[in-house]
Structure 1
Amino acid sequence: MDGHVIAELPPRKGNRHWLHETVGIRSPEFDDDRWKLPRSSLLRLVTAAIDRYGFIVLWRDMSRLSQCTRACLEATGVECQCSCLGAHHGQDAAGWFERVGDAVVADRGESTRTAVVYGARGSDADAVVYEGKLAGERYRVDRAGRRDWPAAAQFMCASCMTVRAAVWDHCHTHGFVRGPLTELTREFLQVRWPFR
């Protein structure tokens, strides 16, 4: 909206700190019940929010006149401004998240509004036990920082060891990756030890 990302986060103590420290936004603006963030932070915000919440819904307005091109198919970010409404966006590119829900479409005249649900990228391989490959690594949400990271879904949940992990958990105090967890386990830990 007007060159900014407008984010609605579940009310939680520490949202400003999370946006500043984890997502890397210097001065997040809070207005009523929404955060106004720089457009350049969108990819980092989506990556961090999926790790925090398990999935996100991304609303976008797209021009009706745009066309789906090879650039759309190979895109690595979440922004799509073409006529496919995000249906083909990034399908040829591996990323840290994937589309897990269908787009909701609303006609807005010259543009079309879509809502797409994104979640952590899954894995078709058998999940294995996490052996600390990212020990000592700082938690990152930018693509360059995660270049050599495996997907969390390649491992069993480090807490319960019974189901496939979905997200990377990290220490909020020191910023280091701890291990792969399921979304429910991560939420449980967040409630029990919110300032860890």
Structure 2
Amino acid sequence: MTTKDTKIVEVWRQATIPVVFKREKSPLLIKLPFAKDNFDWLRNSSRNKPEWSAQYKSWQVPAAWFEDSVKRLLGRFKKVYVIQLYREYQVCAPACWNAHGLHCECSCMGANHGTGQPAGKWYEVSETFAAQWGPKKYACRLMVSTV
């Protein structure tokens, strides 16, 4: 197990900050600090219902709930960890900088996502950049509400 993997396990095991685990082609796993209303709060009057996963000690919700769930968690808890796949050799580009949603798969792990233009010297080749991709790996980022 690498240092990065150990960090992800530590984040998953902690119980004070919510965690959204975005798996590939699977429902999201959402771990919340205990509250009696977690089921109703997660459901948010949606037709679909969150399911409790005893194996992961977390809620399973549709992957399509990612953006809404992260925004609502930030509103309620002010912080949320997001664990998701990324490609190690992916290059950050204007397509990321000018993005509007929260979904980010590039190597910046969302640090430059939607910023318009990150600090530092960047050589812009094009709106997107083709590269040979490394293997997919899980990474973790802490998102903090600024509101």
Q: TM-score if structure 2 supplies the norm length?
A: 0.62
Alignment of structure 1 residues 18-37 onto 2, 5 Å? 18-21=41-44, 24=46, 26-32=48-54, 33-37=57-61
Is residue 60–residue 115 contact of structure 1 (8 Å, CA) maintained in 2?
Answer: yes
The aligned length equals: 106
SS at the partner of 1:47? helix
Greater Rg by CA: 1
Which contiguous aligned blocks of 4+ residues in structure 1 show a shift greater than 6 angstroms?
Answer: none
The runs of 5 or more residues in structure 2 that have no matched partner are 1-22, 118-133
- What is the root-mean-square deviation of aligned Cα atoms in Å? 2.2
Alignment of structure 1 residues 107-118 onto 2, 5 Å? 110-118=135-143
Is residue 84–residue 139 contact of structure 2 (8 Å, CA) maintained in 1?
Answer: yes
The runs of 5 or more residues in structure 1 that have no matched partner are 94-108, 122-152, 154-196
Is residue 19–residue 25 contact of structure 1 (8 Å, CA) maintained in 2?
Answer: no
Provide Cα deviations, 1:151-189, integer angstroms capped at 9, x if missing partner.
xx4xxxxxxxxxxxxxxxxxxxxxxxxxxxxxxxxxxxx
Is residue 24–residue 85 contact of structure 2 (8 Å, CA) maintained in 1?
Answer: no
Higher relative contact order (CA 8 A, sep 6+): 2
Cross-structure match for 2:37? 14
Taking the aligned partners of 1:54 and 1:39, their CA distance within structure 2 comes to 21
Alignment of structure 1 residues 15-164 onto 2, 5 Å? 15-21=38-44, 24=46, 26-32=48-54, 33-92=57-116, 110-121=135-146, 153=147
SS at the partner of 1:51? helix
Q: TM-score if structure 1 supplies the norm length?
A: 0.48
